[in-house]
């Protein structure tokens, strides 16, 4: 059974030797058994946060890393008992698959029989028994990924750390493995921290998502919460697509270049309203539409059409509509927006 623990970062800032400030003082608590995804564009500090937890970086003075009741701040990675999966897998080319998986056990001085049993267990868990005696350079990307996971889990780590583990794979395989990792994490109940820049991956895997921006935590929350109630424009625009209208509030009506949007809850003085593409639709025939525009572009996507509608804003509004009819460039359209999807940030 995994000896899974809660993780806490207290006041963890990171300044590199060259003076680069990678992380502002961050506080984060992760419950035992929880899967937390660190999400953000490159350079946002997500990998640095992961490496602080791993013990590959030391926080600036004052920062603390706790695994359960233990303060592990001063411990190097090799003493923290973590399992880590690297973006480039970091499998040892001088060892076979089985030897890679057994390496951590060997360092823990387990008997040969124990090692063999545990390696067998891991190979079975990842369904790669047939690869046991292969050398690393005979493996495909997906296979390497499984070996890396098996190796990290073999030592029964206190926490599993995954640094963009799927980035090097092609889209289809990424989907399959995402599903597998999800099932695996749930089955094992291990505390897992997963770094990615891919929001779809984050939504699928995370119990909670930590959105990061320029070395700060922008928002922490369940995927649904992050999507539906983004704490800032940064989060709103990083997660999914966001439509935006600029104009001014006039009582319960927001006036803009393409017409107006009625919203009883409209805050006074709002200069901008935001809403998702799925809350935007083409007005039904005979519906009293208040917002008008012209089709800027229409991308046929098979089951739907992705429409870009010019309404006199810097950015066209985006919406998806059933592919029942064709839309031509320049064609006038009337839009309706679901009131419950409107927000101001």
Query: How far is Cα 177 from Cα 293, in angstroms, rounded to an integer?
Result: 42
How long a stretch of residues is the chain?
345
Given candidates 41, 71, 108, 232, which one binds other proteins under the rule CB under 8 A? 108
Q: Which of 242, 244, 255, 318 is nearest to 290 (CA)?
A: 255
Contacts of 324 (CB under 8 A, 6+ apart): none
* Contact between 7 and other proteins per CB under 8 A: no
Query: How far is Cα 264 from Cα 245, in angstroms, rounded to an integer?
Result: 17
Kindly state the smallest distance separating residue 333's Cβ from other proteins, in Å.
42
Stretch in the footprint of other proteins (CB under 8 A) among 103-111, 301-309, 314-322, 332-340: 103-111
Kindly state the smallest distance separating residue 105's Cβ from other proteins, in Å.
9
Cα separation values, 43 from 40, 48, 163, 214, 236, Å: 8, 9, 14, 7, 19
Q: Which is nearer to other proteins, 93 or 302 (CB)?
A: 93
* Contact between 45 and other proteins per CB under 8 A: no
Q: Which residue has the tokens 């046929």?
A: 300
Judged by CB under 8 A, the number of residues near other proteins is 44
Query: How far is Cα 151 from Cα 235, in angstroms, rounded to an integer?
Result: 35
* Contact between 51 and other proteins per CB under 8 A: yes
Given candidates 3, 20, 27, 138, which one binds other proteins under the rule CB under 8 A? 138
Query: How far is Cα 56 from Cα 48, in angstroms, rounded to an integer?
Result: 9
Angle at 121 between CA 116 and CA 123, to 5 degrees: 95
List binders of other proteins among 150-179 (CB under 8 A). Answer: 151-152, 155, 161, 169-170, 173
Given candidates 19, 69, 93, 330, which one binds other proteins under the rule CB under 8 A? 93
Given candidates 128, 190, 192, 342, which one binds other proteins under the rule CB under 8 A? 128
Give the single-character DSSP code of 6: -
Stretch in the footprint of other proteins (CB under 8 A) among 73-81, 193-201, 232-240, 313-321: 73-81
Kindly state the smallest distance separating residue 20's Cβ from other proteins, in Å.
12
* Contact between 81 and other proteins per CB under 8 A: yes
Kindly state the smallest distance separating residue 80's Cβ from other proteins, in Å.
8
* Contact between 308 and other proteins per CB under 8 A: no
Angle at 96 between CA 92 and CA 100, to 5 degrees: 55
Query: How far is Cα 312 from Cα 305, in angstroms, rounded to an integer?
Result: 21
Diameter over CA atoms, the chain: 78
Query: How far is Cα 233 from Cα 272, in angstroms, rounded to an integer?
Result: 11
Given candidates 2, 32, 56, 343, which one binds other proteins under the rule CB under 8 A? 56
Q: Which is nearer to other proteins, 91 or 202 (CB)?
A: 91
Kindly state the smallest distance separating residue 157's Cβ from other proteins, in Å.
8
* Contact between 120 and other proteins per CB under 8 A: no
Q: Which is nearer to other proteins, 91 or 236 (CB)?
A: 91
Kindly state the smallest distance separating residue 35's Cβ from other proteins, in Å.
19
- Assess contact for 142 and 117: CB atoms under 8 A: no
Given candidates 2, 31, 75, 90, which one binds other proteins under the rule CB under 8 A? 90
Alpha helices of the chain — where are they, by DSSP H?
46-54, 97-107, 112-125, 141-154, 171-188, 199-205, 223-228, 233-238
* Contact between 92 and other proteins per CB under 8 A: yes
Copy the structure tokens of residue 119: 């390696």
Q: Which is nearer to other proteins, 169 or 203 (CB)?
A: 169
* Contact between 4 and other proteins per CB under 8 A: no
Chain residues that interact with other proteins, rule: CB under 8 A: 51, 54, 56-57, 76-79, 81-84, 86, 88-94, 103-104, 107-108, 127-128, 130-131, 137-144, 146, 151-152, 155, 161, 169-170, 173
């Amino acid at each position: 059974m995994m000896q899974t623990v809660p993780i806490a970062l207290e006041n963890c800032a990171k300044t590199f030797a060259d003076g680069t400030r990678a992380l502002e003082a961050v506080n984060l608590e992760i419950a035992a058994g929880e899967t937390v995804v660190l999400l953000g564009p490159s350079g946002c500090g997500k990998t640095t946060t992961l490496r602080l937890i791993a013990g590959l970086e030391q926080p600036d003075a004052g920062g603390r890393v706790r695994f359960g009741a233990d303060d592990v701040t001063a411990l190097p990675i090799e003493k923290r008992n973590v399992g880590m999966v690297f973006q480039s897998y970091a499998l040892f080319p001088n060892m076979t698959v089985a030897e890679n998986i057994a390496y951590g056990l060997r360092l823990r001085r387990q008997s040969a029989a124990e090692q063999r049993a545990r390696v067998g267990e891991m190979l079975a868990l990842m369904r790669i028994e047939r690869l046991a005696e292969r050398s690393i350079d005979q493996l495909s990307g997906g296979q390497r990924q499984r070996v890396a996971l098996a190796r990290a889990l073999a030592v029964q780590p206190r926490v599993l750390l995954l640094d963009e583990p799927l980035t090097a794979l092609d889209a289809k395989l990424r989907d399959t493995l995402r599903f597998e990792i999800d099932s695996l994490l749930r089955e094992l109940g291990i505390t897992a921290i997963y770094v990615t820049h891919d929001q779809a991956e984050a939504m699928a895997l995370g119990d909670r998502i930590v959105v990061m921006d320029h070395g700060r935590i922008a928002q922490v929350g369940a995927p649904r919460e992050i999507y539906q109630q983004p704490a800032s424009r940064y989060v709103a625009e990083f997660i999914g697509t966001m439509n935006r209208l600029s104009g001014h509030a006039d009582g319960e009506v927001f006036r803009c270049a393409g017409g107006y949007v009625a919203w009883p809850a409209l805050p006074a003085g709002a200069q901008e309203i935001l809403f998702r593409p799925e809350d935007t639709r083409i007005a039904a025939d005979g519906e009293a539409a208040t917002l008008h525009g012209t089709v800027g572009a229409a991308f046929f996507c098979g089951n739907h059409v992705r429409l870009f509608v010019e309404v006199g804003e810097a950015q066209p509004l985006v919406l998806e509509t059933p592919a029942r009819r064709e839309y031509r460039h320049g064609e006038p359209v009337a839009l309706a927006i679901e009131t419950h999807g409107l927000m101001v940030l």
